[in-house]
Structure 1
Amino acid sequence: MQGNISKISIDSNASLLEAIKQMDVLDGKLLMVTDNENDYVSIISIGDIQRYLITHQNIEAKVTDALRQNVRVASIDDSPEQIKNIMLEFRTEFMPVLDEKGDLDRVIFWKDIFEEKQTFNKEKINVPVVIMAGGKGTRLKPITNIIPKPLVPVGERPIVQIIMDQFSEMGTENFYMSVNYKADMIQQYFDKIEKPYAVNYFEEDKPLGTAGSLSLIKNQITETFFVSNCDILIDQDYEEVYKWHKKNKNEITSIAAIKNYHIPYGTLEIGRDGLLENMKEKPDLTFFVNAGVYIVEPHLLHDIPNNEFYHITYLMEKVKQRGGRVGVFPVSEGSWMDIGNWVEYNKTQEMFKKRFS
C-alpha cells in the first residue's frame, strides 16, 4: 500500500506540467500533494489544473498555486461506509484519511472497495454533435483502401462509434455526420447496430475542409453543438467543457492537448548581426495543440461560405478578429488519442486499453 501512496504523491514544489505527466503515467486524474517531509498538504485534480491554466496560462507554476481552499477528505472518525459513500458520490480515485491533527493516517483507493464497475446517475445534456467523417484517410493506407477511416477499429469497435458512444453517455441523442469517401459503408454499419441515438448524414460533393461542410446543415442545428473529428478520442468529461463554454459566453471553444517536447540539444537564440542573445541547455517546450473537438454556437453556421473549402480554424480567426470569444480548454497529452497515422494508431490501441476499455 505504501508503494501505491508514493505513486500518487507529488511534491508541493513540483510544477503543474510535472503533475500532468504523472497523472498520464498513472492513467489517473488525482494526486496527493506532500511537502519535503512527505507530510500531507492537500490533493490536486486535473480539474484544478485545467481551471488554473485557463485563468493563468502558466504550466510551470507550482502545484500549490492551483490548490482549492476546500477539498474532500475523510477523518479517522468516519465509518468505512461513510467513506465509501463519499467516494461513490464524488467518484474520487482515492481518499486520504486524516487524523485529528490533519496528518495522513491512511489512503483508501477506489479499486480496493469497488470491485465491480459502478454506474452513476448524472444529469444528461442532450447536445447535438457533428462528426466530420468525409476524409479518405490516406495516411492509414492500405486499410483505408478497404474501409473508410471512421470504421477503423480501436479495440473491438470502430473509432467513430466509440466517439459517438462517449457523447451518448453525456446525453446526446442526435448526431450529424459529414460523409463522402465510402459513405455507403458507414451508413450500412450504423443502420445494422443497435444504438440509443439517431444519425443524420449529409454528404460533401467535394472536400470542404474541417468546417466547409457545416454550411450544409446551417438550417438544421439551432442550438449550441459539438464538432468532432472522426479519428480522435479524448478522455475528458465533455459536460465540464460544455458548461465552461456556456458560462464564459464563448462563441467557439477548442479543446487543446498539452504537448511537451524535450529538445536533446543546447539551443541558441540569435539577435541582430548574428550575435548570441541567449542559450538553453536541452530545453523542454510545451504547446497547446488543437485536439480536433470544438463547441460552436449555431449563429456561426451562417458565417461559413457555401460550397467552399473552409477550415474551422478560419472561423475561429474570423470570430477572434471581430472581438468575439474563442475559448481554449486544455486536456493532458495522455488524454488525447488519435489514429491519424500508423504510429499514432498503434499508440492509441495501447492507450485505449487503459483508458476506455
Structure 2
Amino acid sequence: MEKQLFVNIDTPIISALKLMDNIKVKLLIVGDAYNFLGLVSVGDIQRAIINNIDLNTPISNILRKDIIVANENESEEDIKRRMLQIRTEFMPVINNKNHVVRIVFWDDLISTKKLPPVEKLNFPVVIMAGGKGTRLKPITNVLPKPLIPIGKKPIVEHIIDRFIEVGCKDFYFSVNFKSELIEYFFNSFEHPEYCIRYLKEKEFLGTAGSLNLLNGKINSTFFVSNCDIIIDQDYSEIYNYHKNNKNELTLVAALKHYNIPYGTVETGYNGELMKMEEKPEITYKINAGLYILEPHLLNEIPVNEFFHITHLIEKIKNRNGKVGVFPVSEKSWRDIGEWDEYLKNMEE
C-alpha cells in the first residue's frame, strides 16, 4: 500500500484521481521515498475541476506550498495531535535529507476509522423516496426502493448514516409508492438520534414537486438526496463550497470516464482532417442526485404540479441565479438504482 501512495510530479490530474479511487485514499505523496516533493489531495483536484483546469494537466500545476508533514524527531503524540488538527488520513515523516522515512496512518493512531467532518451541520435533509424503482424490478414489486438491502441495512439507512456523521438529524421522506412499508419499517425500531417526517404525494410529482409541501416548514439551508445513491464525501465540505460561493442551489456531480474503443477524427471545413486520436477517454460530470438548496427556492416550486429538480435549476438560471457544481470522483459515487450497480454494491 505505501508504495502505491507515491506519484510522479508529471502525473496527470486525472490519473492521480483514478489512483485515489482504486486504492481508496484521498491523499497521495508526490515524488518518491528519496525525494519528497509534496502532497496532492482530493480537495486539490476538486478545486482544479471547479476552476476548469484540464484534467490532463500535470499535478505539478496544482501543488500547494502550505502542506504539513512531520519530521523524524517528532513524538508519536505530537504527530497524532497534528493529524487530528488537520484531519489527514496519513502523514509522511521526513528527515533532513528530504527522504520519507515512514508514513503514519490515521488508522494506526486513532480508534475511529473514519476522518471526522470539517464541521457539524444541523440542516434538514429531504430524501426523495416516492419512486417506483422500475429499473430494479422484480425486487421492487415486493419492496420499495429505499428498503432494498445493502449488506445488513436498507440503502436509505446508509444514506441517513452519512448525514448523521455531519450532525443532521431532521429527515423528511417524500413518499408515494409502497409508502406504508417505509413507515412500518422505521416505526418498528427506535432511532433516537434522528427523526423522520413524511411528505405524502397523492400522485407522482417528479423529483422536486413534493418539496412545495415543505413551504413554511423549512427556513434554513437544506439537503435533498435521491434514495438510491451513496456518496463518499464529507458533506460539510460540499456545504462550505455552497456557502462560500453564495449559491442558491449546489448539485453534486460525479466524474464518469468512458473509453472509446476506436480511433476518432476531427474535421474542419470541406472535410479536412484536423486531428486524429487513438481510443480516447472522455470524462463527463454526471448529476449524482445530491443537492443543497436555500429555503427561498421552495417558493418557486408550483403547488401540486409535476416538477423535476432540473426544472427548478432552469428557473434559477433563467433569472440569472447562481447554481454551483461540486465534483466527486467516479468511485466516490454509487448509484444503486440499476441492477448491475446494485449487484456490485450488495455488501457495504
What TM-score results when the alignment is normalised by the length of structure 2?
Answer: 0.94
* Percent pairwise identity: 51
1:346 has 2:343 as partner: yes
Structure-1 residue corresponding to 2:172: 176
- With 242-251 and 46-55 compared, the bigger mean Cα shift is at 46-55
Match of 2:75 in 1: 79
| Counterpart residue identity of residue 79, structure 1 | S
Counterpart AA for 2:43: G
Deviates more, 1:42-51 or 1:226-235: 42-51
Cα RMSD for the two superposed structures: 2.0
- Deviations, residues 84-125 of structure 1 (Å, cap 9, x unaligned): 232233332221111124332222233344466478597421
Q: Report the counterpart of residue 46 of structure 1 in structure 2.
A: 42
SS at match of 2:219: coil
CA contact (8 A) 1:338 1:348 kept: no
Q: Note the C-alpha offset of 1:336.
A: 0.2
Aligned CA distance change for structure 1 residues 349 and 68 (closer, same or farther; 3 Å): farther
Amino acid at match of 1:153: P
Q: Which residue, out of 152, 156, 160, partners 1:156?
A: 152
Instruction: Please give the alpha-carbon distance, in whole angstroms, between the structure 2 residues aligned to 1:317 and 1:121.
Output: 32
Quote the residue 2:323 is aligned against.
326
Residue type matched to 1:190 in 2?
F
The yes-or-no answer on 1:18 pairing with 2:7 is no
Among 198, 203, 206, which residue is 1:206 paired with?
Answer: 203
Q: Which amino acid aligns with 2:106?
A: W
Aligned 8 A contact 1:175 1:200 in 2? yes
Alpha-carbon separation, structure 2, partners of 1:218 and 1:15: 46
Distance 1:6 1:319 in 2: 47
**Residue 193 (structure 1) aligned with residue 189 (structure 2):** yes
Matched, 1:267 2:270: no
Alpha-carbon separation, structure 1, partners of 2:324 and 2:112: 38
Instruction: Give the 3 Å change call, closer, same or farther, for CA 176–118 of structure 1 in structure 2.
Output: closer
Q: Give the secondary-structure state (helix, strand or coil) at the position aligned to 2:68.
A: coil
Change in 2 beyond 3 A, CA 1:281/1:342: same
AA aligned opposite 2:77: E
Q: Is 1:70 aligned to residue 87 of structure 2?
A: no
2:303 is equivalent to residue 315 of structure 1: no
Distance 2:242 2:132 in 1: 31
1:236 maps to which residue?
A: 233
- Does the CA contact (< 8 Å) of 2:252 and 2:327 recur in 1? yes
Matches of 1:38 and 1:284, distance apart in 2: 33
1:281 corresponds to 2:278: yes
Query: Is 1:58 aligned to 2:50, yes or no?
Result: no
Q: Find the counterpart in structure 2 of residue 99 from structure 1.
A: 95
Distance 1:198 1:152 in 2: 20
Q: Which amino acid aligns with 2:147?
A: L
User: TM-score scaled by structure 1?
Assistant: 0.92
CA deviations 1:206-231 (Å, max 9, x no partner) are 21111111112222111111000000
Which 5+ residue runs of structure 2 have no aligned equivalent? Answer: none
Aligned counterpart, 2:222:
225
User: Is residue 210–residue 304 contact of structure 2 (8 Å, CA) maintained in 1?
Assistant: yes
Q: Is the 8 A contact 1:96 1:107 kept in 2?
A: yes
Structure 1 residue aligned with 2:295, among 294, 298, 303?
298
Q: Is the 8 A contact 2:255 2:284 kept in 1?
A: yes
SS of residue paired to 1:34: strand
Q: Is the 8 A contact 2:119 2:236 kept in 1?
A: no
**Larger CA deviation: 14-23 vs 83-92:** 83-92
After superposition, the C-alpha distances for 1:245-285 in whole angstroms (9 at most, x for unaligned) are 01110000000001111111101234455544432110010
Cα offsets for 1:179-230 (capped at 9, x unmatched): 0000001011111222211111011122111111111222211111100000
More displaced stretch, 227-236 vs 95-104: 95-104
131-140 or 65-74, larger mean C-alpha shift: 65-74
Separation in structure 1 between the aligned mates of residue 104 and residue 293 of structure 2, nearest angstrom: 41
1:355 corresponds to which residue? none
**Separation of aligned partners in 2, 1:349 and 1:139:** 16
Is the 1:225–1:296 contact (alpha carbons within 8 Å) kept by the matching residues of 2? Answer: yes
Go from structure 1 to structure 2 and tell me whether the alpha carbon gap of 1:304 and 1:13 turns closer, same or farther (over 3 Å shift).
same
